[in-house]
Structure 1
Amino acid sequence: MKPSKPLEQKKATEKIKLRRRLRAVIDTNLFISGLFGKDTVSSRLQNHWINLDFILVTSIDIIKEINRVFHYPRIQERFNPREETLKRFFRLIFRKAVITKDRYKTDRITDDPTDNKFLACALEGKADYIVSRDPHLRNLKHYHGIQIVDASTFVSKIADE
């Protein structure tokens, strides 16, 4: 017969199992800077996602935008990225993220309508947070109960969990 775990250890294990992981939509610029930055807030954010400290919620539209931005001439010139880096990154997304079907639409942000895809994805994917440095999103602060924060705030929130 196996010896049983001490009561405190059992309770701690149960709390971990019961804790609901946060769901977050991450903006494209944070993905790109996280791919190429070393020990930056963006790279720490990506590491938290890869380690499953939160659930990444994204969409086909966001994935297309990441691909488009990755191929911008200024990104190519500055970082000289390998295509294999992007392929590996997308494999991670398709394995570890919740990908919405782009069924929701919104027109809340009129100054930059392309940012509405992050709001729609967050609604459809039942996200708790949108993490962005984009002022069009950040100025909203909340959207239908979804908090909109910068990467530092979100990384701190995960560390406190």
Structure 2
Amino acid sequence: MLRVVFDTSVYIAAFITHGIPKQVLDLARGRNKKIQLLASVEIMNELGQKLREKFFWPERRIKETIKAITHIAEIIQPQHSLKVLSDEEDNRILECAVGGNADLIVSRDRHLLTLKKYQNIPIVTAVDLLHSVPASCQEQKGEGGSP
């Protein structure tokens, strides 16, 4: 099973647009999940902050969403602080990926995508991930709830 870190923009797109990012999030849910989602407290804090400040989500909805993610994700406690990119939030994504031995980072962030790879961990879009998972693995209708 692929071990995957999503950056916060992928989570937000999954919750707001319900397009391809939601399809890749769905791969991490249900009895027959196809990817193991990796997250960290720092990533969840950033997600909560963005949902609160940019999308004006009520605190209760934010807490429920983060709780739903932490139920399906393996929470990683990175052991090392990285200073690879100028955006500290992007560095938290890399720390989680390295600390969790991720196979992939899924991002919509141009700084991360420009990096393309970090310590042999490819950085791809949600579309790239969806295309790398066989179609038979994507059929998970009716499994899991929406965060």
TM-score between the two structures when normalised by the length of structure 1:
0.76
Q: Relative contact order (C-alpha < 8 Å, sep 6+): which is higher?
A: 2
Flag structure 1 segments of 5+ consecutive residues without an equivalent. Answer: 1-20
Q: 1:104 touches 1:121 (CA, 8 Å); kept in 2?
A: no
C-alpha change, 1:83 and 1:36, in structure 2 (3 Å) is farther
- Show structure 1 runs of 4+ deviating over 6 A: none
Establish whether residue 123 from structure 1 lines up as the match of residue 98 from structure 2.
yes
Looking at structure 2, the residues matched to 104 and 144 of structure 1 have their Cα atoms a distance apart, in angstroms, of: 14
Q: SS state of the match for residue 127, structure 1? A: coil
Q: CA RMSD in A?
A: 1.7
Please tell me whether the aligned partners of residues 46 and 89 of structure 2 are also in contact (alpha carbons under 8 angstroms): no
TM-score of the superposed pair, with normalisation by structure 2: 0.83
User: Unmatched 5+ residue regions in structure 2?
Assistant: 138-147
1:159 to 104, 127, 134: 134
Report the AA paired with residue 45 of structure 2. K
- Give the whole-Å Cα distance in 2 for the aligned partners of 1:35 and 1:84: 15
Q: State how 1:24-63 maps to structure 2 within 5 Å.
A: 24-38=4-18, 40-51=19-30, 52-63=33-44
Greater gyration radius:
1
Identity %: 28
1: CA distance, partners of 2:48 / 2:80: 21
Where is the helix percentage greater, Structure 1 or Structure 2? 1
Distance 1:113 1:88, change over 3 A: closer
In 2: Cα distance, 1:62 partner to 1:139 partner: 20
- The separation in 2 between residues aligned to 1:146 and 1:34, in whole angstroms, is 22
